[in-house]
Structure 1
Amino acid sequence: MQTTRLALLGGAAMALASSAYAGGVERSNQGIDFLFEQGTYVELGFGRLDPDVSGEVVQPGFGNANSGNMLGGENVFSLSYKQDLGENFVVGLKLDKPVGATIRYPSGTGHPFAGSVADLESEELTAYLMYKFSNGFSVVGGLRAQQVEGDVFLASTQYDLTTNNDREYGYMLGVAYEKPEIALRVSLTYSSAIDHTFSASEAAIIPVAGVGNVPVSREGDFDTTIPQSVNLAFQTGIAEDTLLFGSIRWVDWSEFNINPSLYDQIIQGASGGFSYPLASYQSDTITYKLGIGRRFNENWSGAVTLIHEPESGDIFGNLGPIDGRDAIALGVTYSNDRFKISGGVEYSRLGDAESQTPFGAPGTAISDFTDNSSISYGIRIGYYF
């Protein structure tokens, strides 16, 4: 059983160019599989996320209101390049989208967030250097340059936030072991947290007793951390032309918090002193993946992957009301001597979540987001030089 014959299966297994809604805003699992491709290799990936997420808010004394589908469709991408330097060294570059969000609350629903929108955009470039030992082990390190920016508009208070495109740096470290005769590979990687300080412009209209609606604004900075993560991935041949693969990924999402100063002042004033960040998570996330790939002939292979992210039971923000998920992904790959083309689709049942509308004390104006789902699909095109 040769690694080159089973390499088709890995492409089919990982055909999607995204990590759909893992941790709410994560869009890349920071995988290093492309570094193990044969020879010089370049890969371009595109993906699309199409969610259907809605919830009903319970407003004591005002009746209930449904949010409508509040998550917009989103595109993701990746571009990877790998080259051998002699027998032991490998260099690589990867450009992708580490985090993202597209929030679109429909207008006229009666929901407290009706008409509100938010966008989170990012890009990350990672440069890798791997050293392969003669006993199957290898070590890898990388430097990461990450750009993030965002904007928010909350219709109820006419709150408007825009930030600069902030660039900061981090790193990754990893170790791997391969046994090609049984198509075995295990890798463990760590990606550091990256701290961003955004220059923000905030504006809103707030009611003042005896005066009426008063416009307010603020220019200033606030901090946000894109969290650290650990990824354990494996694959192994279990029969002729059949591969078992999977991963366990932990992300420190409890360190993620977006809470600009003027927004926090407005919310505390409207809720009697309680603070509700624009976006935050109370718990970390662990995502499990397990799949089987099968090579059908010299050119075609396919794979199926099961994905589970446990629910936390936490109260979520209104810009990311998703608590865990269960998903199935199907992938297929066509390959010849030069090209590898992979396509895939993933269907996710998104976990039920509760969110606290930030205009009252805890326990009031709770939104229940239930029976939600997402379809993701993507294509990757690889070329061997």
Structure 2
Amino acid sequence: MKTILTTAAALATAATAAHAGGVERSSQSVAILFEEGRYAELSFGHFDPTVSGSVGPGGVATSGDMSSSYNSWSLGYKMDIGEKMDFALVLDQPIGANVAYPTGGLYPLQGSTAKLSSSAITALLRYKFENNVSVYGGLRYQTVHGEVSLPTVGAYSLDTNYDSELGYVVGIAWEKPEIAARVALTYNSAITHTLDATEGGPFGGQSTFETEVPQSVNLEFQTGIAKDTLLFGSIRWQEWSEFVIDPVGYFPTTPLVSYASDRITYNLGVGRRFNENWSGAVTVGYEKSDGEITGNLGPTDGFTSVGLAATYTMDNMKITGGIRYVDIGDATTTIGANFEGNSGVGVGIRVGYTF
């Protein structure tokens, strides 16, 4: 059972690249804190979405596929500090975006591009009490950078510096090892970035503005439901209504990027060990569409997903591969464009080693 709870549950929703509310790329799981002994893992993911829409009478102006594929990675290390404490260090990419509208058509935003990149390093400490309860917390150091080019919107452009700021993580967990049960509740603080920017267009120049990567709450859970079978899942809330990118020189009345409401993302899965070497998992994910008008740089609204993962364990090493299909929710943008029938496929691999 321990093989399942440290492999299938961990990767099926994490190693395949995320496609969730806002510009989320990482679920910020704390599962690594519960690995046994000294442990290290490396994950790679690739997500290939197809997102297109149309505007005008009869949808005469089509956007083409405006959402580029992207790669993601994470690196984690965990060690014991005596009998009561654990330490973990995680490197990942919490948020990101990669938008490129094709040129050569009638679509109003043809040729527009946007890139948002980030990296974060999170250090966590966990203290275990005698009653199977533990508390944990730590600091997250996060760096973000953005670039935008909107040739058909007054030739507007934006290029920011790489800004780094500090946030924090706190949480509490309960475990019952006899049935492989665990519940972990984690709070991730908001991190406000002050970005120095070079803007082009009618009101271009040097400017400074703030953007908040919003706070979130994660509930992760798992329990054995039969011999060699594990039920696991997560519920994640993030305050995306506080995420606004509104540079000084951007002249339209609406912000460059904003979200009308917060998001709750659900994941549920079942993992099973087949023999001493092989285990697998199936997962489903869901994020409700809110029906609000979306920005043109993120014309999606919710999703439904299904994923498969398989783990091969050999001595102290475990290798997990996964695939995830995402049905991306329909959306209507601020220019009245309708984006419908979109989807994406993510694949991932994770290598973990206990030593």
1:228-377 correspondence to structure 2 within 5 Å: 228-263=215-250, 265=251, 267=252, 275-357=253-335, 366-377=336-347
Match status 1:54 vs 2:41: no
Match status 1:197 vs 2:194: yes
1:18 aligns to what?
17
User: Are the structure 2 counterparts of residues 233 and 169 from structure 1 closer, same or farther at C-alpha, using a change threshold of 3 Å?
Assistant: same
Could you give the per-residue CA deviations for residues 133-166 of structure 1, whole angstroms, max 9, x where no partner exists? 1211110001000000010000212211100000
1:261 positional shift: 1.2
1:51-200 correspondence to structure 2 within 5 Å: 51-58=49-56, 64-156=60-152, 157-200=154-197
1:240 positional shift: 0.3
1:69 positional shift: 0.3
User: Are the structure 2 counterparts of residues 350 and 376 from structure 1 closer, same or farther at C-alpha, using a change threshold of 3 Å?
Assistant: same
Q: Is 1:330–1:344's contact at 8 Å kept on the other side of the alignment? A: yes
| Partner Cα separation in structure 2 for residue 45 and residue 24 of structure 1 | 22
| Partner Cα separation in structure 2 for residue 17 and residue 348 of structure 1 | 11
User: Are the structure 2 counterparts of residues 24 and 374 from structure 1 closer, same or farther at C-alpha, using a change threshold of 3 Å?
Assistant: farther
1:271 aligns to what?
none
1:64 positional shift: 3.0
2:350 aligns to what?
380
1:336 positional shift: 2.1
1:15 positional shift: 5.3
Q: Which amino acid aligns with 1:96?
A: D
Q: Which amino acid aligns with 1:304?
A: V
1:116 positional shift: 0.7
1:361 aligns to what?
none
Identity of aligned residues (%): 53
1:338 positional shift: 1.1
| Partner Cα separation in structure 1 for residue 11 and residue 119 of structure 2 | 25
Q: Which amino acid aligns with 2:43?
A: G
Could you give the per-residue CA deviations for residues 49-105 of structure 1, whole angstroms, max 9, x where no partner exists? 100000111279xx7300000000111110000000111000010000000000010
1:6 positional shift: 4.2
Could you give the per-residue CA deviations for residues 269-311 of structure 1, whole angstroms, max 9, x where no partner exists? xxxxxx1211110000001111100100001000000101001
Q: Which moved more, 1:336-345 or 1:85-94?
A: 336-345
Normalising by structure 1, we get a TM-score of: 0.89
| Partner Cα separation in structure 2 for residue 240 and residue 55 of structure 1 | 48
1:337 positional shift: 2.2
Q: Which SS does the other structure have where 1:120 is aligned? A: strand
1:244 positional shift: 0.3
Q: Which runs of 5+ in 1 are unaligned?
A: 207-215, 268-274, 358-365
| Partner Cα separation in structure 2 for residue 297 and residue 15 of structure 1 | 23
| Partner Cα separation in structure 2 for residue 344 and residue 5 of structure 1 | 14
Could you give the per-residue CA deviations for residues 338-367 of structure 1, whole angstroms, max 9, x where no partner exists? 10111101100000001013xxxxxxxx01
| Partner Cα separation in structure 1 for residue 298 and residue 243 of structure 2 | 12
Q: Which amino acid aligns with 1:243?
A: L
| Partner Cα separation in structure 1 for residue 7 and residue 301 of structure 2 | 33
Q: Is 1:15–1:344's contact at 8 Å kept on the other side of the alignment? A: no
Aligned structure 1 segments of 4 or more residues deviating by more than 6 angstroms? none
Q: Which amino acid aligns with 2:24?
A: E
| Partner Cα separation in structure 1 for residue 233 and residue 120 of structure 2 | 24
Equivalent pairs counted in the alignment come to 354
| Partner Cα separation in structure 2 for residue 298 and residue 66 of structure 1 | 52
| Partner Cα separation in structure 1 for residue 241 and residue 340 of structure 2 | 23
Q: Which amino acid aligns with 2:259?
A: Y
| Partner Cα separation in structure 2 for residue 97 and residue 341 of structure 1 | 21
Q: Is 2:16–2:322's contact at 8 Å kept on the other side of the alignment? A: no
User: Are the structure 2 counterparts of residues 12 and 240 from structure 1 closer, same or farther at C-alpha, using a change threshold of 3 Å?
Assistant: farther
User: Are the structure 2 counterparts of residues 145 and 15 from structure 1 closer, same or farther at C-alpha, using a change threshold of 3 Å?
Assistant: closer
Q: Which has the larger radius of gyration?
A: 1
Q: Which runs of 5+ in 2 are unaligned?
A: none
Q: Which amino acid aligns with 2:94?
A: P
What value does the CA root-mean-square deviation take over the aligned residues?
A: 1.4
Q: Which SS does the other structure have where 2:60 is aligned? A: strand
Q: Which amino acid aligns with 2:173?
A: A
Normalising by structure 2, we get a TM-score of: 0.97
Could you give the per-residue CA deviations for residues 255-274 of structure 1, whole angstroms, max 9, x where no partner exists? 000011111x2x2xxxxxxx
